[in-house]
Structure 1
């Protein structure tokens, strides 16, 4: 699988001389501690799940069955990831100093929705048709403030058998 990933992202390698130049990364690693996907309950031991055994620094990763670096879309529980993000945002807000929290004019429901919106996609998305998008290029999908909405809708719409993989890239 690493060879397939390398081939898919090769057009965006900053070190390549592929024309036209579209450099987005200079090295990558499968997975990223703290950015794992939640596995759909009942599928924690499915052999199609991807769990990179080492960090990018070569340290052994301790895995819990409910998390993975990727797998078929049908095994990834995006709804649970979004709910967890919103719940954690609410917990963090409640732990704040009451005075500070009361003095802020803040739209808490919007804050919780934004946290949920950021739970599944990362800053960059490579689509099945080879388009790299991150919200910064007007000619690419999900430009500007629409990136998270685009990325979530795109990921949610993938066929059940499509592999979704989390990469850690350096740019």
Structure 2
């Protein structure tokens, strides 16, 4: 049973998780950089722990500091939120190795899904070596990502080559 949850994130996502925890009777712990000391997520949580530094690289991306904060605050679980360390299997392992509950996919699943191309292959969705009319519509996206930029829905085979070139 989780009694205290640290959210390794900030802003709206942390506030939403805190709201759910409050509804479930779970104590909440926020982490914050120097720049976020008075941010809404720090005021909404039951406890806020300072991560020394001002940049995300010095704070929210430091799994070691976040695990220390969780232990110091008496949290028994960590939720990564999204972004930052949420897709970092090493961070998930750090949390588990510290004896804390990890709220998220197991590290092996995070690793398996790290490559969009490999993830789609594991799900039987890619690669489509030869797209046919029966496959349409298809979504063409650059394998290396790009935050959704360049994604194209292809509804006609005549448009496929242009969409592939655009994704490259």
| TM-score band, normalised by shorter chain | under 0.3
TM-score when scaled to structure 1? 0.23
More helix by share: 2
TM-score when scaled to structure 2? 0.23
